[in-house]
Amino acid sequence: MLTQIHIRHLATIEELQINFLNGSTMITGETGAGKSIFLEAIELALGGRSRIEMIRPGKEQAEINLCFDINRLSPAREWLIKHDFFQDSDECIIRRILTQDGRTRNYINGTPTTLQLIRELSEHLFHLHGQHEQQVLLKTEHQRDILDRYAEHVSLVNEIKKLANEWKQLDKEIEILHKNIADHEQRREYLRFQIDELCALQLQAGEWDELENEHRKLTHVEDLLEHIQETLHHLCENEQHTVLSYLNKMRKSLEAVQPIDTRITTWINMLASISIQLHDLEGELRDYLEINEPEPERLQQLEQRVSQILDLARKHKTQPHTLIDLYERLQTDLNAMQASGTQLQTMETKQKNIAVKYHELATQLSNDREQAAKQLSKEITSTIRSLSLPHGECHITLEKYAHEENTDPTPYGYEKINFLIKTNLDQPLQPLAKIISGGELSRLSLAVHLALAHQSITPTLIFDEVDTGVGGATAEKIGKLLRQLGKTYQIFCITHLPQVAACGHHHLLVEKQVANQSTHTRLRLLESADKPKEIARMLAGEKITETTLKHAEEMLQDIC
């Protein structure tokens, strides 16, 4: 709840600090005293739009501080912890500073922050129930939220909304996938044709290099054999002039002088080693001649294979040795396209499962709503009849969008919620917007809040002239209902009716004073002894008589 407000240099307020208590606090004051400035200060601190004109003339900045007790307010504590603003305390302090340059500085528990985060936090702390809120009541989506909060199945609605959003997202993805599959069908057929061609080629890794080598050798085999034969001739077959015979002569010549110099032995050994290597070469050359010979049939086979590979490489505008990589790449592309079909089946199955779960929960929600609608209709009807609408009646209907089997999942279940009302005996039930007046709407709005008291999620409620358009006994009943709400919520109510003001647990008086050509607004909580005088002023105006004062005292005694 709101425990303290501190305001400095805001509009007509020089400086103000007030401590608040639980229960209902009635805010009164003469016309033009500035009762609305209390609301403006709170709304401004909690993220409302600022204006330079709000800063008191002659001052550089204005400042508003709000202190809330969050001891029993788990959502606010959890929010503060989540966003690293919690200070291991039951207090939450929100501060906002307005400056003449149009900028603002915002703090939560002393830490600088953004207006967006303050607005998020404010949803857990404070709720203004004014004329705008009453107009929102006319919207069907707000009526649906009221019914769901009353029935305590907000979590069920959130789960249904989550399933509906997942279903819708999958539906978009499935539609795109269907289109892609249709667009890729021709491409898939062409890929299959290309892969079949490459597969029929049966090209093996390293085969092209081997084919090139063998083809080159068989193409030039006669020149190859001729030169090898000539090498053998010079090496060993010409009896008088062979390399080996010359080596033999060289070795004998050195042996003749070997005893003269020891170094000659090394040279003789070198010639012997060369001779051995040349004999080995001779053996290899002869073996080569034996196993190699012209093979016209094999050459023809090779030329056909090489031509087959080259033709396919030219067709795909690539090199022969990259055909295997091309095959693997095309196969990967085809597998990816075929996987689209499998992915589509998986997504469609998932979507069907989501739809089954959705319809299960949506059916449960419909049944719960039907029961809750009957009970809430009775409670609202009972309350508005007690507020001088003896023939008033509220009836909440559930209008099906369509049969569930023929309806795509929607975020809010199967039905549209309508609040129907009549305020006179001879009227038919009709939607709120068609027949309800401002005063009737304020009473209906109050009845709704009373029905939702057990679902309190915001501890502090402010009612801005909720008693508009009523008076007398009805005003007293509204005051008593606000006092009753004060047992569950912390209530602030701006009112101009003494019957309502008398029902408050506390009374906040707004006064305007002019001193030294400067206007000052003062807010003060009245002591018990001061309340009768303010109630008497509201009854009679500036001229307060003994009779009026006694009447005011009696009104307060009746409430207490």
Q: Note whether 476 and 484 are within 8 A (CB).
A: no
Q: Residue 202 has what pLDDT?
A: 79
Starting at the earlier edge strand, list the strands of the sheet with 24-29: 126-129, 460-464, 490-494, 24-29, 506-515, 518-525
The length of the chain in residues reads: 560
Q: Which tops the pLDDT comparison, 245 or 419?
A: 419
pLDDT band at 325 (very low <50, low <70, confident <90, very high): confident
Find the mean pLDDT for residues 34-42: 84
Of the ranges 72-86, 92-106, 459-473, the best mean pLDDT one: 92-106
- What are the angstrom distances between the C-alpha of 357 and each of 175, 182, 260, 352, 433? 21, 30, 110, 9, 36
- 454: which DSSP letter? G
Which stretch, 47-56, 306-315, 456-465, has highest mean pLDDT? 47-56
* Per-residue confidence band for 27, with pLDDT thresholds at 50, 70 and 90: very high
Listed residue (301, 295, 282, 281) closest to 222, CA to CA: 295
How far is it, in rounded angstroms, from Cα 461 to Cα 442? 15
The Cα–Cα gap between 458 and 435 comes to 30
- pLDDT at residue 438 is higher than 60: yes
Listed ranges 109-118, 222-231, 249-258; the one with the highest mean pLDDT: 109-118
Percent of the chain with pLDDT over 70: 90
Summary mean pLDDT of the chain: 84
Token readout for 91 is 């207090």
Using a pLDDT cut of 90, give the percent of the chain over it.
29
Domain ranges in the chain are 1-131+458-526, 184-335, 528-560
pLDDT tens digits, 159-168: 999 999 999 9
Residue 125: partners with Cβ closer than 8 Å, 6 or more residues away: 2, 46, 68, 70, 73, 76, 92, 458, 459, 460
What pLDDT is stored for residue 184 in this prediction? Answer: 64
Flag the least confident range among 315-319, 476-480, 556-560: 556-560
Topology, domain 1-131+458-526 = Rossmann fold (3.40.50)
Residue type for position 200: A
- Asked whether the predicted pLDDT for residue 403 surpasses 60, the reply is no
| Section 417-428 average pLDDT | 88
Question: What span, in angstroms and rounded, lies between the C-alpha atoms of 149 and 128?
Answer: 18
Helix (H) or strand (E) holding 75: helix 74-82
What is the mean pLDDT of the segment spanning 70-92?
89
pTM value is 0.60
pLDDT for residue 420:
92
Place of tokens 């012209």: 294
What pLDDT is stored for residue 505 in this prediction? 94
For the cut 70, the answer to whether the pLDDT of residue 451 exceeds it is yes
The per-residue pLDDT for 503 is 93
Confidence label for 309 from pLDDT (cuts 50, 70 and 90): confident
Give me the sign of the Cα torsion angle 522, 527, 528, 530: negative
Cross-strand partners of 419: 396
- Residues facing residue 398 across a β-bridge: 417
Residue 469 clears pLDDT 70, i.e. is over it: no
